[in-house]
Amino acid sequence: MRPRLVIAALGGLGLLPAIWKIALAMPAFGEPTGAYGPVVNRLGPPLRHVSNMVGAVNFDFRGLDTLGEELMLVAAVTGTVLLLRGIRGEDLSARPATAGLPVVKRAESTILVSRLLGPLVLLFGFYMAMHGMTTPGGGFQGGVALASGLLLLYVGDGYRAWRTLMRSPLLAAVEGGGALLFALAGFLPMVDGKAYMENVLPLGNIRDVFSGGLMLVENGGVALAVAGGFAMLFLEFLEETRAIDGEDRG
């Protein structure tokens, strides 16, 4: 037995009484302990006219937290893009390469499945992003689904087809525009002297697609930012697989 395994076993043995004690002191499985959830479930529908309480918490009750998360995502994507593009050089990234590195030849079944699933995933992404206030899901999940649907184009039809559709400036505009829309939507109530992000738009009817007022705008902003951000991330990573015309990378 290797020394580190011995040490790990001894450590585990030493911790066992503590783990046992904590396990016994834990609340029963599935027993709700927090007061926040029941309160939101009780007050959410009458106050905000939406049926997805997770969406109401994300975009209304704790909307400012989501704005912070959104900016974190934008910062993370920007950092990744800067790193990858910085190594490659801006000129090289602007135009599509003639070909990607030949990784593996695609099977016909792969192409078929990707072409069938791609539009469906895109449609589902739109659906999920639009119905963020009524059913589970929302801007983030819908946005990732949208980006994944676009990615199926690469899986099915390869680098060139993918690059014909993916334009880096457009993706950057969608990503940044979405985050900006979210941040600016918060200022709208301030025009009227209300607090930042206070829900001043008409709330609509519960279980209606267009219910939630300002939440709808913020949800749309998140959908754009996430779809653009993830597509940008995929694009920059896939750019790494491109073959550079006529020259060896070394």
Partner 1 sequence: MSGVLLGVLFVLAAVAGTAVVLTRDPRRQVFAMAANGLVLTLLFFVLQAPDVALSELAVGTAATPLLFLVTLAILRVSGSRK
CA distance 221 to 219: 5
Tell me how many degrees the CA angle 177-181-184 measures, rounded to the nearest 5.
130
CA distance 49 to 210: 10
Burial level of 25, CB count in 10 A (0-12/13-18/19+)? Answer: exposed
Closest to partner 1 by CB, 61 vs 230, is: 230
Two tokens, residue 137: 């899901």
Q: How many helices (H) and strands (E) does the chain have?
A: 10, 2
Please work out the total of residues on this chain that contact partner 1, with binding judged by CB under 8 A: 26
Q: Is 240 in the site for partner 1 (CB under 8 A)?
A: yes
Q: Is 241 in the site for partner 1 (CB under 8 A)?
A: yes
| Residues recorded for the chain | 250
Range list of H helices, 36-62: 36-48, 53-56
Which amino acid is present at 220?
G
The one segment of 9-17, 35-43, 65-73, 132-140 that binds partner 1 by CB under 8 A: 132-140
Minimal distance in Å, beta carbon 8 to partner 1? 13
Q: Which helix (H) or strand (E) holds 92?
A: helix 90-94
Q: Which helix (H) or strand (E) holds 76?
A: helix 63-88
Among 52, 66, 93, 219, binds partner 1 (CB under 8 A): 52
Closest to partner 1 by CB, 36 vs 237, is: 237
Q: Is 136 in the site for partner 1 (CB under 8 A)?
A: yes
**Window 149 to 188, contacts with partner 1 (CB under 8 A):** 151
Q: Is 216 in the site for partner 1 (CB under 8 A)?
A: no
**Window 107 to 126, contacts with partner 1 (CB under 8 A):** none
Among 44, 137, 156, 178, binds partner 1 (CB under 8 A): 137
CA distance 34 to 36: 6
Question: Which residues lie across from 100 on neighbouring strands?
Answer: 242
Minimal distance in Å, beta carbon 103 to partner 1? 5
Minimal distance in Å, beta carbon 194 to partner 1? 28
Two tokens, residue 239: 């750019």
Binding mask 1-40 for partner 1 (x = CB under 8 A): -----------------------------x----------
Q: Is 148 in the site for partner 1 (CB under 8 A)?
A: yes
Among 51, 93, 134, 141, binds partner 1 (CB under 8 A): 141
* Separation of first and last alpha carbons in the chain: 43
Residues that bind partner 1 (CB under 8 A): 30, 52, 54, 101, 103, 128, 136-138, 140-141, 144-145, 147-148, 151, 230, 233-234, 237-238, 240-241, 248-250
